[in-house]
Amino acid sequence: MPLEDFELVLRVHLLGTVYVTKAAFPVMKDKGYGRIVMTTSASGLYGNFGQTNYAAAKLGIVGFMNSLKLEGLKYNIRINSVAPLATTRLAQGIFPEDVASRLRPELVTPLVAYLCSELCEASGDIISAGAGYYSAVKIVQSKCVRFGTEHEITPEMIAAKYGEITKMEGPTSFNDAQEQFASVLRAIEFAP
């Protein structure tokens, strides 16, 4: 695809989210209260053939939220993201009618209303929602495989342990990059 097309989708989705948030955030900060709900997508969270531009923009929104949630906490501003699955005018004709009838946008609306309400104290959550289905989505990290720093680490050593490195038993999620970095430091300090 031409880079202009790629950039257009980034401007609409990612920068559109940034511009709206930039306008609202100072008002919320001055009031000491706010709720922001961003829209991500399963395409960004998991990938989707033919949607590299859209997927990049939608996962970029999650990165934006992950940092902004930290800045907003001290002002009682909570920021979450929804990955909706609902039929809209853009999706007309894509799903069979019996499926489309269950993917009504009204089934995502209660979640968004909650995330915008005073009842919601969560911040930094990603919620997948559609057809009455709601679930949290997390970015997680596998258990550490440590080689040590006292000797050279080779691509062959990585290849030999790659299955263990990517094994997702007992994954860990982190609230921020500092928490993740602290886990690396603990692994280095306590490893044999």
Residues marked as catalytic: 54
Q: DSSP letter at 102? A: T
Q: What are the φ/ψ torsions at residue 34 (nearest 5 degrees)? A: 180, 155
Q: CA torsion sign, 84 to 64 to 19 to 54?
A: negative
Task: Give the span between the Cα atoms of 143 and 15, in whole angstroms.
Answer: 34
The answer to whether 126 touches 136, Cβ cutoff 8 Å, is yes
Task: Give the span between the Cα atoms of 100 and 188, in whole angstroms.
Answer: 51
Task: Give the span between the Cα atoms of 8 and 12, in whole angstroms.
Answer: 6
3-state secondary structure of 173: strand
Task: Give the span between the Cα atoms of 131 and 108, in whole angstroms.
Answer: 8
3-state secondary structure of 82: strand
3-state secondary structure of 172: strand
